[in-house]
Structure 1
Amino acid sequence: MTESPRTPQSPFRLSTVILPHRRWHEGARESWVRAEDLGFHTAYTYDHLSWRVPFRDGPWFGAVPTLTAAATATERLRLGTLVTSPNFRHPVTLAKELISLDDISCGRITLGIGAGGTGFDATALASAGQEPWTPRERADRFAEFVPLLDRLLTEDTVTYDGAFYSAGGAQNIPGCVQRPRLPFAVAATGPRGLKLAARHGQAWVTTGDPKLFESGTPEQSVQAIRGQIEKLTAACDAIGRDVAGLDKILLSGFTPDRARPLDSVDAFVDFAGVHRDLGFTEIVLHWPIPDTPFAADQKVFEAIATDALAQLG
């Protein structure tokens, strides 16, 4: 297998995630263009077939077409998924779409990728009465999915016959604009996922510890995330990789203090400083959506985008 790329640790960065819940010509396009104007490093979107309440029964658009449109509407902004999963994706077809998207964007795509969960994505393609995959089954598929996708994005022709996926002479010429392939940002907290991040990732993604979401404290969250980074470090050490060469991304909005970072620029600087000191190189903020868990003052959000990094030093 072609050795995966290794990205040097980057300066601290601020990115956003724009949910695909609006029609492109009814406000969605303007958000992606505005994200570039505000200087965000990357604008990601969720890759789901649908999502939880309050979005579950409303408009929701596909990630790849949305990113394709965003690529044509922007010039400098990096773009990506946060995250794609095997729940409804196959490595062969996903690789073809990613190579095309990387080409259209002139090499601005990052693939956020994770094992997936038990929500709508896990049942939309299932037979009637079929139960969602267990955590172990999701981990088994993820462990096969990521290395195969790595090969598909770095080799001209791939033949593979695995337990869950196969490729019969799948051709992916000319490959990615980014060489040897576009970067993977692997979302993981368990031992198997962290091994995949260490071996195949250019970045690692976490949302914190979900067990602390409802009743934990910010201090408990920091301690839990510190433990995740220690486990990531051990996974890198086991294969002789320097963990400093792996970017570390925090998707905010899921820690116990989830609302506070968007209260003011100062509040965000405090939050970001704590997590930068843990080793994070990138924090991702949800683009504000009124009357949802991601509601925030748009003016404060934009002030954070333009002013916070300078205050962090």
Structure 2
Amino acid sequence: MRVGVVILPMDSWADAAHRWQAVEELGFDSAWTYDHVSWRTLSDSPWFSTFPTLTAAACHTSRIRLGTLVTSPNFRHPVLTAKDAIALDDISRGRFTLGIGAGSTGAGDATVLGGPPLTARQRADRFAEYAELLDHLLTNPVTNHQGEHYSAIDARTIPGCVQLPRLPLAVAAAGPRGFGLAARYGAAWVTQGPADWTRVSTNDECVQHIREHTTRLTEACARIGRPATDLSRMFMPTPVSCPNPLSSVNAFLRLAEAAAAAHVTDLIVHWPRTNGVYAAAPDILEKIAVRLPDLR
């Protein structure tokens, strides 16, 4: 199992740079950040833009994979998303993964560009078009597209990706259409586990949820003749999907073992904050890092 770390883009680069470097120096496999304008209970706190943050991280690291968890159509047009992703793929020398999802309605920035809220079906339609257009933009030098949600007129994405045939997409999906998109376009599938915000699920409940969704992903892959083993399976716990995995080293190891049994290939935790959401002891990642060889 690989282990990655999410660093929320809340601090100035002068204060944040050492965290990205520490993730690499401690031996973790990847480092990620959210792609939002603002986020939930932290909406009135500082929040820096995602792609410049990852560009700086690429310049201060040399080994770890970097990426977004996740970029969405809520405020990103596919053409500009593709251009930024190609630039990051170049700057990182082929270490960038673009995580994509349909876009949360509860994060606080779903309607930041105006317009009425979309229905679940409209959001699914938009995400399907977003993923398909991104795939085309990232694999072709010139794209023309006229769809329900997006247009692209002679959109040039030259020189293209460092990683061929294109940089990898990590697709966050939970519904039937989302699993189909992950099967068709994803190098990885992303899950946050159970999403019942009225309570915290147990590790057993979380693992059962992931198992059920993995089965549906496997079925989606089979429908298009793709081996499900082609996709990595990434699990990023939320405060409700399971008990806090950073409350102790043992808590982390219990979740990692359970997740591995559900065929998770990448466990993604959050850099510990001093208080509030994702709070944990400041040295917990250093303690976990000692056990990374055992996890692998």
2:214 equivalent among 223, 229, 234? 229
C-alpha deviation, 1:96, in angstroms:
0.8
CA distance in 2, matches of 1:258, 1:192: 29
CA distance in 2, matches of 1:38, 1:114: 29
Mapped contact 1:213–1:254 kept (Cα < 8 A): no
Could you list the per-position Cα deviations for residues 75-110 of structure 1 after superposition, in whole angstroms to 9, with x for gaps in the alignment?
112110000000000011111111111111111100
Can you give the 5+ residue segments of structure 2 that lack an aligned partner in the other structure?
none
TM-superposed deviation, 1:14: 0.4
TM-superposed CA distance for 1:166, in Å, is: 1.1
Q: Do 1:112 and 1:186's aligned partners in 2 also have CA atoms closer than 8 Å?
A: yes
In structure 1, C-alpha distance between the alignment counterparts of 2:295 and 2:37, rounded to whole Å: 37
Of the three residues 208, 233, 237, the one matched with 2:193 is: 208
Matching residue of 1:14:
3
* 1:254 Cα deviation from its structure 2 partner: 3.8
Cα distance between partner residues in 2 of 1:256 and 1:66: 27
Stretches of structure 1 lacking an aligned partner (at least 5 in a row):
1-11
Matched, 1:307 2:285: no
User: 2:193·2:241 contact (CA, 8 Å) conserved in 1?
Assistant: no
Report SS of the residue matched to 1:116. coil
**Partner Cα distance (1:140, 1:162) in 2:** 11
Residues 194 and 201, structure 2, Cα contact 8 Å, conserved in 1: no
3-state SS of paired residue (2:97): strand
Letter in 2 for 1:265: V
Q: Could you tell me how far 1:211 is from its partner in structure 2? A: 2.1
CA–CA distance in 2 between the matches of 1:99 and 1:220?
38
What secondary structure is seen at the aligned counterpart in 1 of 2:154?
strand
Aligned residues with identical type, % of pairs: 51
The offset of 1:253, in angstroms, is 2.9
Distance verdict in 2 for CA 1:312–1:99, change over 3 Å: closer
Offset from partner CA, 1:216-258 (integer Å, 9 cap, x none):
3332222121111111011011111111111000002344433
| Native 8 Å contact 1:203 1:249 kept in 2 | yes
Higher relative contact order (Cα pairs below 8 Å, separated by 6+ residues):
1
Say if 1:112 and 1:185, in contact at 8 Å, map to a contact too: yes
Q: Shift in Å at residue 289 of structure 1?
A: 0.8
TM-score normalised to the size of structure 2? 0.96
Q: Deviations over 1:24-44 (max 9, x none)?
A: 11x111111111111111100
User: Which residue identity is paired with 2:271?
Assistant: W
1:272 aligns with 2:261: no
Aligned CA RMSD, in angstroms, stands at 1.4
Equivalent position SS for 2:196: helix
Over 6 Å off, 4+ runs: none
**1:221–1:255: 8 Å Cα contact kept in structure 2?**
no
Give the residue type in structure 1 aligned to 2:91: I
What is the rounded CA distance, in whole Å, between the counterparts of 1:212 and 1:311 in structure 2? 33
